[in-house]
C-alpha cells in the first residue's frame, strides 16, 4: 500500500485502486455487517455536530420569519387604523342625518349623490408655543392639501390647515384663540359660532342671546355656513350654560368632540362633489 501511494504512482492508478477498495468494503459490509458498529459510533459522534452546524441557519431563518411577520403586522395595523378612522368619520354624519331625516324626505325628488374625498395623515410635530395650538402633519401640497382645509379625527372636527409646504402642512386646532367655526345645535337647529379659548379642551359660544334655547349636553355640529367647514360634523358638547340677570348674552362653554390631546392620526376632508344620478 505504501508503494501504491508513493510519489511514483499515477493519479489515475490511485483513484482506480481506491474505488475498487471502496466497492469491496461496501460489498463486505452489506453482506456481513462488519462496519455497522463503527458506522453507528461515527453517526452518534457526528449528529451533535450536525445540529450545532445547523443552528446559525435555523436562527437566521427564524429571525427572518419573525421580522417579516412583525413588519406585516405593523403594515396591517397601520392599514386597519386608517380604515377605522375613515369609518368613524363617516359615522359622525349619521348623527346630523338622523335629526334632518324628515326634512330630507321632502327633497327626494333631487337624487344627487355627494362624493367626499378623505386622506389619512400622521401628526409628526406639536408646536411648543403655549399660546398657539397647532401641529404639523406629514401631508402637503403634493397630496393636494390646501389652506383652509378641514381636519377631523374619529370623533369630530380637529381644526383647519393654515400653512402648506410640499410634504407637510400645519393645522390650527379649534381650541386656539384665533379659531372660530359656525355651528348649529343638533337638538333644535339653533345657530351660533364656537371660538377657541386657548385651553385645549374648552370651547366657547360667542354672542348667544339670553333667550336662546341651549342646554348642557347639547351636541354642536358644523353648520356649513361660510363654506369653510363641511356641514354635519360634531364640533363639541355643551358643558356649561351661565345666565347672568341683566346681561343680553349668556356664557356658554363646550368640550371639543375631537380628542385633541390624544390624536396620532387625523383625516383631511375635501369639499363634497355633487354627482347627478341617471
Percent of the chain with pLDDT over 90: 39
At 190, the pLDDT band (50, 70, 90 cuts) reads very high
Query: Is a pLDDT exceeding 90 seen at residue 184?
Result: yes
Q: What is the pLDDT of residues 207-263, one digit of tens each?
A: 899 889 999 999 999 998 888 898 889 999 999 999 888 888 999 999 999 988 888
- Output the DSSP codes for the chain: -TTTTSTTS-HHHHHHHHHHHHHHHHHHHHHH-TTHHHHHHHHHHHHHHHHHHHHHHHHHHHHHHHHHHHHHHHHHHHHHHHHHHHHHHHHHHHHHHHHTHHHHHTTTT---EEE--EEEEEEEEE---TT--EEEES--GGGT--TT-EEE-SSSEEEEEEEE-SS-EEEEETTSTT-EEEEEETTT--EEEEEE-SSTT-EEEEEEETT----TTPEEEE--GGGSS-TT-EEEEEEEEE--TT-SEEEEEEEESS-TTT-SEEEEEPPPEEE---
Is the whole-model pTM more than 0.85?
Answer: no
Q: What is the pLDDT of residues 122-180, one digit of tens each?
A: 999 988 887 889 999 999 999 999 999 999 988 899 999 999 999 999 999 999 999 99
Least confident of 6-15, 58-67, 98-107: 98-107
The domains of the chain, with CATH numbers, are: 115-275 (2.40.10.340)
Q: What is the pLDDT of residues 83-132, one digit of tens each?
A: 777 777 766 766 566 556 655 555 454 444 455 688 899 999 988 887 88
Amino acid at each position: 500500500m505504501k508503494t501504491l501511494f508513493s510519489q511514483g504512482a499515477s493519479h489515475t492508478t490511485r483513484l482506480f485502486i481506491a474505488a475498487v477498495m471502496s466497492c469491496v468494503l461496501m460489498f463486505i459490509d452489506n453482506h456481513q455487517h462488519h462496519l455497522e458498529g463503527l458506522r453507528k459510533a461515527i453517526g452518534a459522534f457526528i449528529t451533535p455536530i450536525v445540529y450545532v452546524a445547523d443552528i446559525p441557519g435555523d436562527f437566521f431563518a427564524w429571525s427572518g420569519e419573525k421580522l417579516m411577520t412583525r413588519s406585516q403586522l405593523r403594515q396591517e395595523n397601520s392599514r386597519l387604523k386608517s380604515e377605522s378612522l375613515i369609518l368613524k368619520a363617516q359615522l359622525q354624519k349619521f348623527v346630523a342625518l338622523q335629526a334632518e331625516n324628515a326634512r330630507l324626505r321632502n327633497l327626494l325628488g333631487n337624487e344627487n349623490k355627494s362624493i367626499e374625498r378623505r386622506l389619512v395623515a400622521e401628526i409628526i410635530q406639536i408646536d411648543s408655543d403655549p399660546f398657539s395650538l397647532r401641529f404639523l402633519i406629514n401631508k402637503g401640497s403634493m397630496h393636494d392639501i390646501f389652506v383652509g382645509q378641514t381636519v377631523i379625527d374619529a370623533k369630530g372636527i380637529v381644526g383647519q390647515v393654515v400653512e402648506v409646504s410640499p410634504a407637510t402642512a400645519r393645522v390650527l386646532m379649534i381650541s386656539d384663540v384665533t379659531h372660530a367655526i359656525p355651528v348649529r345645535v343638533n337638538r333644535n337647529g339653533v345657530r351660533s359660532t364656537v371660538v377657541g379659548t386657548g385651553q385645549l379642551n374648552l370651547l366657547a359660544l360667542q354672542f348667544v342671546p339670553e333667550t336662546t334655547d341651549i342646554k348642557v349636553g347639547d351636541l354642536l355640529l358644523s353648520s356649513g355656513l361660510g363654506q369653510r367647514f363641511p356641514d354635519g360634523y360634531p364640533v363639541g358638547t355643551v358643558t356649561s350654560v351661565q345666565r347672568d340677570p341683566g346681561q343680553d348674552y349668556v356664557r356658554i362653554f363646550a368640550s371639543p368632540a375631537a380628542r385633541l390631546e390624544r390624536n396620532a392620526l387625523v383625516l383631511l376632508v375635501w369639499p363634497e362633489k355633487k354627482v347627478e344620478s341617471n
